[in-house]
Chain A
Amino acid sequence: MVEKTDRTAGSGGSRSADGRRFEVFLREAEADPLRHVGTVAAPTPDVAHEEASTLFGRHARDVWVCPAEETHRYSAEPLAADSLAEAER
């Protein structure tokens, strides 16, 4: 049986100091997997797509964007994991 990685839920909350942000995913060729390349600040998905296209246009066949605040993150080593666990207790 494969050993399961112990992951911790992120603290949630805003991921932006400057308005809405969108997580950006690219696919270079049709057979490629989507690749996460970070976030852009943008007020709407369409603007986020434009921003991502400006930065990654030469590398992207498909661009997916997802509101950063709608993403639930479960990470093996979130920042200050000890204090996160403490806060949950």
Chain B
Amino acid sequence: MISVSKLLYGLDAESDGLRYDAADDSTKSQITDDKQRRPVVVWNTTKRCNLYCEHCYAAADCEGAANELSTAEGKALIDDLADFGAPVLLFSGGEPLVREDLPELVAYAADAGIRPVLSTNGTLLTRENARELKEAGLKYAGVSVDGLPERNDRIRGEDGAFDAAVRGIEACLDVGLKTGLRYTITEHNVDDLAGVVDLLVDVGVDRFCFYHLDYGGRGAEIADVDLSPEATRRAVTDLCDLTREYHEAGEEIETLLVGNYADAGYLVEYADREIGTDRARLIHEYLRRNGGDPTGERVADVDPVGNVHLTQFWQGYSPGNVRDRSFGAIWSDESNPLLADLRNREEHLTGRCADCAYQDICRGGSRLRALSAHGDPFAPDPKCYLTEAERDGAEALRRIRETSTAD
């Protein structure tokens, strides 16, 4: 996750400590080591969902999976995660609000010292359950909206889903629960991006999280409508420009990008071009601490039946199941050769990633997309959109290094 607003303009945010070790002036406790040591954990609490979105990585459906973790097992999982030191637990799905024990589990996580946050389609949020979740200790609700009303409802498979999600966002805002947008960008909705931001700013939203499509679950079935590298570069440029426009108008919004660490290199290039080399150097340093693509390191997933995954999008492989062995034992077991290689991926990346000048802040991008496109988890991410000169370090990085030497 890359905070565009933080990097370009220094906009502080509560969660930045997990990403950059540098949430300036924040009163929140910050991580002081160079890198985040424990993963943020996504828990797909159920496979059941009241919508049927075309890009759903969890392939959620109207029926839950057989044998989903019970309330008691969920609490034992939370104990495991707390023992291991997971800083954040993201309750996801399916649609997590269909689980009646959600407030109980949120409260249990908060009591265990894990920051509980929610990923929801928003359509089931009411003022009552938003208040209940806030009182249980929920810190944030990310609501998925994937376009202006017509496109969103087509993508999410339900007429009225957009309006229902906006009502859910308003319910959160009414009770003082921090909320924000989650938006997965494809050819189907890239044209709506700025319109959705403008519309939701008017509603009161100030945090916007944009996901690149990853090729897991139903997302793999629509890889043909993923943006080309060129179109991705344009979309990211537009988002940076939009963030600038809001900043220059005195209205601060938090904008974030998820799922494509080519964005890291591109932000350095963008800042060098549009703001200046000093800012580009600072951004490069922040992103170096951030550590690049987090697969198998700083993000983990537990699916509805307890399988651990290396990211939430990569559900096809699991190194173990929390019903058999604690999360910490699974995550720490580097006798698993794939886990060990991912954590030492610099030695295994191939093709243009092997000698890319931005490898230290990108680390090859999505390993799942590489696997999907090339049948090799260490092949290049097909969604890298940096130019050859940028990858060679002949653009912003050259200027950063030259001015550093001059200093």
Contacts and interface: CB of A to CB of B under 8 A. Distances in A.
B36 interface: no
Interface string A29-45: 00000010111110000
Nearest to A51: B316
Interface stretch (B22-30, B146-154, B188-196, B335-343): B335-343
Contacts of A59: 337
Given A10-B323, A14-B65, A79-B76, A39 B307 contact: yes
A56 B335 CA distance: 12
Which size class do A's interface residues fall under? Answer: 20 to 34
A74 B14 CA distance: 43
B19 interface: no
Interface string A45-78: 0000001001110110000000000000101011
B321 A37 contact: no
B157 interface: no
Contacts of A41: 315-317
A83 B77 CA distance: 13
B77 A15 contact: no
A35 B335 CA distance: 9
Interface string B75-110: 111001000000000000000000000000000000
A77 B80 CA distance: 12
A51 B326 CA distance: 25
Interface string B292-329: 00000000000111110000000111111111111000
Nearest to A55: B338
Interface string B57-76: 01100000111111011011
Interface of A: 10-11, 13-18, 21, 26, 35, 37-41, 51, 54-56, 58-59, 73, 75, 77-80, 82-83
